[in-house]
Each structure stands twice: as C-alpha cells, then as structure tokens.
Structure 1
Amino acid sequence: MLDHMTFRVSDIAASKTLYEQALSPLGYRLAYDGVHDGQRVLGFGVQTAEGLKIDTWLVNQKEPVTTACHLCWRADSTSQVDAFYKAALAAGGRCNGAPGLRAHYHPNYYGAFVLDLDGNNIEAVCHTAEAETVASAH
C-alpha cells in the first residue's frame, strides 16, 4: 500500500491553489505548510479512522520539477469526481479527459483527468456501481 508521495513543483503558490481546490471534494485539506531543507513544503491529507493521514506532498523546487507522472485519488462518488475536475480546471489545470465512464478499464470505472501546472496527469476515480448507473443515465 502506498504511504505517501512527494512532487517537486515549479510554482508552489499556484500549485497550492490547484491541489487545495481539486482535492477538497475528495475530503483532503492542506495539513502542513512549512519549510524543510530550505524549501517550502505543503502536505495534503485526509481524515481517517486512525487520524489525519498526509499522503500528498509538494516541494517548491524550480529545477528539476516532477513531470509526466500519473497521480490518482479514489473518490467515493461520481459527484466527487465531477467536483474534482471542475475545481482543478478552475484553479488552472488543463483538461486531459472529462469525467466519464471508462469501461475499457472495467465496467464501473468513472474518472476524470487534469494536467497540473507542471504537466502531471492528476485523476480522481470512482469504482462503484454508481458509476455505471450515472453513465447509463446520460
């Protein structure tokens, strides 16, 4: 199981806005904003039964930045996927795949893809039967 991930970003202020807004519908919040080894670091986390779990870290580092990675967060509903997508675009992300059913992955795979400010492909996905039902209604 993945514990955490760290990504180097070129513009920490803009990335903070994008990730804060995009991850909020998934239950995430900015849980850490500090300095480590002379670099500003942001930590985004979600409340779990064990307490706050910070698993997404951004480090302000002009060169080299992390690029061309695919990051995916699990959503509890298709409406969370939709909200993730809208919030990410509003915060400066670029569409890399609008919300929708992607049955070629599996029958209930409902996801949305956005390119972040450094070119990483960020995604929210819902794997429930609700995804197939929502897709059938459209």
Structure 2
Amino acid sequence: MLHHISFGVSNIERAAAFYDAALAPLGYVRVWEDLRPGEMDQAVGYGIAGGGDKLALKFCPEGQRPPGPGFHLALAAPNRQAIINFHEVAIQHGGTDNGSPGLRPHYGPHYFAAFVIDLDGHHIEAVFNSPE
C-alpha cells in the first residue's frame, strides 16, 4: 500500500548518520541522497540496496515536529538478532530506548520487536513476526 514515508529532520547530516547505522542491521541502506551543506531542500532516502526509497529524511530546520501520539514507523526485520542489533546501534548513535527487544505476546505469539525514538523525536519500531 505505501510507496514511502518522509520524516522532517532538524539536522540532515546527524539524522543520516543515525539512520545509516540503525537501519544497517535490518538490511536497509541509503539508496539516494541530495546533500548540499548550507542549502535547503536536502534529503536522503533509505531502502533495500538496488531499490527505491521507503523512508526519506527531509531537512526542515524550522518548525520540524514529529507526528503526534499514536504514530510510529514499524520496519520489517529479517530475524530477531537484527532487531537486537538495531536497538543497540540506535541507542549507541543517540536514539532513546522506547522498548527493549523482546516478544510482545499481546500482538501475537511470535511478535518480536524493539522501539526507539530517533534524534528528532520520531518513534521507530523494528519487528519480526514469525517463528524463528
């Protein structure tokens, strides 16, 4: 259903460094960039190598606010270890823990997830929902 989603970020270089690190364990990479230091309208896109972007970061230095309560972005992970690595790396790169890696049986018997808040306040989840 979704083609991609975009987040406004207050510092594109800092946000790109965070997402480069945090998304790598999930198998996502920077698939394009339009970085021009000091200029407006900068952006970076992430997805599967060789494909298009599914997440874009847009430089919005003025008035950037994350979506309100109830919104978060859930990213598919290839396995449980990738989620553990995602959470660890995201925290190491300045993210805030919002739910450590583990089973969430209230979502289903195999629902394994971790939650972080990025440097601009966006809520991110990594999830694997299959028996391992």
Same fold (TM over 0.5): yes
Deviation at 1:38, TM superposition (A): 3.6
Distance 2:109 2:65 in 1: 32
Indicate the larger mover: 111-120 or 26-35. Answer: 26-35
Deviation at 1:35, TM superposition (A): 5.4
Deviation at 1:94, TM superposition (A): 0.5
Q: Name 1:64's counterpart in structure 2.
A: 63
Kindly report which structure 2 residues correspond to 1:108-127, keeping only aligned pairs within 5 A, or say none.
Answer: 108-127=110-129
User: Structure 1 residue 44 and structure 2 residue 46: aligned?
Assistant: yes
Higher strand share: 1
Question: What CA RMSD, in Å, does the superposition of the two structures yield over aligned residues?
Answer: 1.7
Distance 1:94 1:76 in 2: 22
Q: State the SS of the aligned residue for 1:24.
A: helix
Q: Tell me, which stretches of 5 or more residues in structure 1 are unaligned?
A: 131-138
The answer to whether the 8 A contact 2:40-2:59 is kept is no
Q: Name 1:104's counterpart in structure 2.
A: 106
Superposition TM-score, scaled by structure 1 size: 0.85
Q: Name 2:91's counterpart in structure 1.
A: 89
Distance 2:66 2:126 in 1: 18
The answer to whether the 8 A contact 1:4-1:56 is kept is yes
Deviation at 1:63, TM superposition (A): 2.4
The answer to whether the 8 A contact 2:76-2:127 is kept is yes
The answer to whether the 8 A contact 2:16-2:44 is kept is yes
Superposition TM-score, scaled by structure 2 size: 0.89
Distance 2:40 2:14 in 1: 19
Distance 2:3 2:17 in 1: 23
Distance 1:43 1:96 in 2: 24
The answer to whether the 8 A contact 1:115-1:121 is kept is yes
Q: Name 1:10's counterpart in structure 2.
A: 10
Task: Identify if the C-alpha distance between structure 1 residues 114 and 20 changes in structure 2 by more than 3 Å, giving closer, same or farther.
Answer: same
**1:32-70 C-alpha deviation (Å, 9 max, x unpaired):** 1115994111011104xxx51311100111123241441
Indicate the larger mover: 6-15 or 29-38. Answer: 29-38
**Number of residue-to-residue matches in the alignment:** 127
Q: After TM superposition, which residue ranges in structure 1, 4 or more long, deviate above 2 angstroms?
A: 35-38
Distance 2:24 2:16 in 1: 12
